[in-house]
A and B are shown apart, each in its own frame.
Chain A
Amino acid sequence: MFGKPSRTSRTLQYLALAGYLIFLGFPLVWLVSTAFKPPRELVRLHPTLIPSDPTVQNFVQAFTEQELGRAALNSLQVSLASAVLTVLVAMPASYALARFRSKLGTAALGWVLLSQLFPFVLLIIPIFLVLRQVGLANTHAGLVLIYVVWALPFALWMLQGFVRNIPRELEEAASVDGASRVQVLRRVVFPLLAPGLVATALFSFISAWNEFFFALVLIKTPELATLPVALARFVGIEGTARLGPLAAGSLLATLPSLIFFAFMQRRLSSGSLAGAVKG
């Protein structure tokens, strides 16, 4: 592996890599290509990989005729609210988890792992009943609540890693210099925690943006549907010519998470997230 590999093994390695690139890449290329194809090219008997007459008409149509625009707006509202709320709620708790030893903290993190085991079907019925009791079923507020609760465990875990990365000595030095507790938090901890807060907010935003099951079950009014649910409904409408707007909408729905991953990858490589990863 580290000596000079023979020519045959190198060739085999490149062949394998090419296989992976085709498997991973071609479906993506197909989605992009379909999104830019005009209707008459979509119904053609033998479709081509590259659209011969590319158009942005599908994007326009997806957002005007198919109500994906409203769904995208709904998704944006719900995801933004989830992101802000998650950060606000997780911030004090993650500070406590990182700076003080507490059995409660261990229990909370244990719950994170345990909750992975349970299928959503088991939770959704009681959650639905609870939300209905307080009048939040079929509302965006109810959905936001659920998203915050489900993003919280991971957000806590991630954020307390960021807090741990801030040297305690910095806080001590500031208070030796006469800074009050509030000042220490505001002037020392908060600025250093900013990247962590951004990462947590983005994580919460994306999990809400991508979520499908809870949105499908909890939101009954079509006007309130989020983007994944609207897209899934759109799939039900058959007809080959409809594939264009569907692909266009799907492409746009992917953009936020792509941006998130690009952001996170840079963070990962710069090491600022190392603490969060190691826990």
Chain B
Amino acid sequence: MTTLAERPDVERAGPARRPSRFRSDRTAIYLLLLPSLLPILVLSVFPLLRGIYLGFTDARAGRNVEVSFTGLANYRELLGDELFWNSFKIGLLWAVGVTVLQFLLALGLALLLNQQLRFRGVARVLAVVPWAMPPVVVGILWKLVYHPDAGLLNEFFHRIGADGLRTNWLGDFSTALPAVILVGVWAGMPQTTVVLLAGLQGVGRELHEAAAVDGASTWHRFRHVTLPALAPVIVAITSLDFIWNFNSFGLVYVLTAGGPGGKTMLPMLFAYEEAFRYGNYGYAAALGNVMVVLIIALLAVYLRRRLREAN
């Protein structure tokens, strides 16, 4: 702070007071930024670069293990690793499924919350609560809902006389992944709703009213006024949701830890197991690299298509 005090403001200071104004400003800015930039460099930029590099080595857990550069060996191994491909498929199903459902449900809710409905306040509060919960607690919460004996869902099916539908939701091979996806939707919907609602409130009222006067139906107005105006927000939030979902870990770790029989083994869980159960650091890092490249590729395709639609 003292450096700041000695240094005049960029735009206002009289040049006579500080001959080397330009340089001292520079120094001051760097000094102010340094406490933030240094930790980011050491504990974020450097680890990231190192992590990318590790993906091309045979690094393993342990203190005095020699690490050697192995080039593309990890990736060749990944190509032939059936468990990896399986996990990748599950990850894609999860990320796309959660993102799409999240978006559709959030859009519906945002449209409702944008109307003059009763109970809107309650819905607004409820819509934010899942966002405020730690992912681990969301996992526990839904474990209670899905619990085979003491769970809300099975009890509901019993009460409506559909005992045949009772099942061990998280333990059954066929229901585990859909059950987990539903939790992902529940957990991520609030944030998407809030963003879309903010976007909706920015859509011009005049445009809507003009369209209504011209006799456009509700659907027409939604399709031709609301949606185009909302498009940039939609692209931004769905892209972010996709990245966050693909990289999510805690929720499914608590719910199923990848089970049953690897049916919910998301790529991040798979990489975690490789790194910290089997100690294959290099292989896990290679997996991370592949994931980043795939996410970027998928996003590029998505964004390009949206851009083309916009033109």
Q: Classify the secondary structure of A's interface with B.
A: helix
**Is A3 located at the chain interface by the 8 A CB criterion?**
yes
Identify B155's interface contact among A46, A123, A210, A216, CB under 8 A. A46
**Is A16 located at the chain interface by the 8 A CB criterion?**
yes
Q: Mark B277-302, 1 if CB is under 8 A from A, else 0.
A: 00001001101110110011000000
18 A-B residue pairs with CB within 8 Å:
A14-B118, A20-B105, A30-B145, A31-B144, A42-B150, A47-B150, A89-B36, A90-B36, A92-B35, A93-B32, A117-B243, A121-B285, A145-B43, A149-B39, A152-B36, A181-B7, A228-B134, A228-B250
**Is B74 located at the chain interface by the 8 A CB criterion?**
no
A120 and B254 contact, Cβ closer than 8 Å, known pairs A30-B144, A250-B137: no
**Is B310 located at the chain interface by the 8 A CB criterion?**
no
- The listed residue with most B CB atoms (<10 A of its CB), out of A42, A127, A217, is A127
Give the A interface residue count (CB, 8 A).
Answer: 93
- The listed residue with most B CB atoms (<10 A of its CB), out of A115, A209, A210, is A210
In angstroms, Cα B272 to Cα A120, docked, is 10
Identify A20's interface contact among B30, B109, B149, CB under 8 A. B109
Are B35 and A89 touching (Cβ within 8 A)?
A: yes
Identify A2's interface contact among B6, B8, B129, B205, CB under 8 A. B205
A123 and B47 contact, Cβ closer than 8 Å, known pairs A27-B145, A100-B25, A232-B254: yes
* CB neighbors of A among B34-70 (8 A): 35-37, 39-40, 42-48, 50-52, 54-55, 59
Q: Which residues of B contact A30 (CB under 8 A)?
A: 141, 144-145, 152
A27 and B141 contact, Cβ closer than 8 Å, known pairs A93-B36, A121-B268, A145-B43: yes
Chain A interface residues (CB < 8 Å from chain B): 1-3, 9, 13-14, 16-17, 20-21, 23-28, 30-31, 34, 42-47, 49, 88-90, 92-93, 95-97, 99-100, 102, 104-105, 108, 111, 115-127, 129-130, 145-146, 148-150, 152-153, 156, 171-172, 180-182, 185, 209-210, 212-213, 216-217, 228-229, 231-232, 235, 240, 243, 246-247, 250, 253-254, 257-258, 260-261, 265
In angstroms, Cα B44 to Cα A156, docked, is 15
A96 and B123 contact, Cβ closer than 8 Å, known pairs A17-B117, A232-B253: no
A60 to chain B, nearest CB (A): 19
A113 to chain B, nearest CB (A): 10
Identify A123's interface contact among B37, B51, B222, CB under 8 A. B51
**Is B173 located at the chain interface by the 8 A CB criterion?**
no
B106 to chain A, nearest CB (A): 10
Are B1 and A185 touching (Cβ within 8 A)?
A: yes
* CB neighbors of A among B3-21 (8 A): 4-10, 12
Chain B, Cβ-Cβ closest to A34: B144
* CB neighbors of A among B122-159 (8 A): 122-123, 126-137, 139-145, 147, 149-152, 155, 158
Q: Which residues of B contact A182 (CB under 8 A)?
A: 1-2, 4-5
A150 and B44 contact, Cβ closer than 8 Å, known pairs A104-B30, A212-B249: yes
In angstroms, Cα B308 to Cα A56, docked, is 58
Are A257 and B134 touching (Cβ within 8 A)?
A: yes
Chain B, Cβ-Cβ closest to A107: B37
Chain A, Cβ-Cβ closest to B288: A122
Are A21 and B134 touching (Cβ within 8 A)?
A: no
In angstroms, Cα B205 to Cα A152, docked, is 38
Are A258 and B129 touching (Cβ within 8 A)?
A: yes
Q: Which residues of A contact B287 (CB under 8 A)?
A: 121
A205 to chain B, nearest CB (A): 12
Are B50 and A213 touching (Cβ within 8 A)?
A: no
Are A235 and B30 touching (Cβ within 8 A)?
A: no
- The listed residue with most A CB atoms (<10 A of its CB), out of B40, B118, B292, is B40
A130 and B243 contact, Cβ closer than 8 Å, known pairs A100-B29, A212-B135: no
**Is B276 located at the chain interface by the 8 A CB criterion?**
yes
A115 and B44 contact, Cβ closer than 8 Å, known pairs A17-B112, A42-B150, A124-B275: yes
Q: Which residues of A contact B132 (CB under 8 A)?
A: 254, 257-258, 260-261
Q: Which residues of B contact A97 (CB under 8 A)?
A: 33
9 more A-B contacts (CB under 8 A) besides A119-B246, A125-B281? A1-B208, A2-B208, A9-B218, A14-B118, A34-B144, A88-B35, A111-B45, A180-B5, A185-B1
A30 to chain B, nearest CB (A): 5
Chain B, Cβ-Cβ closest to A129: B50
Identify B1's interface contact among A47, A92, A102, A153, CB under 8 A. A92
Are A1 and B51 touching (Cβ within 8 A)?
A: no
Are B247 and A120 touching (Cβ within 8 A)?
A: yes
Identify A108's interface contact among B33, B140, B243, B292, CB under 8 A. B33
A253 to chain B, nearest CB (A): 5
Are A126 and B288 touching (Cβ within 8 A)?
A: no
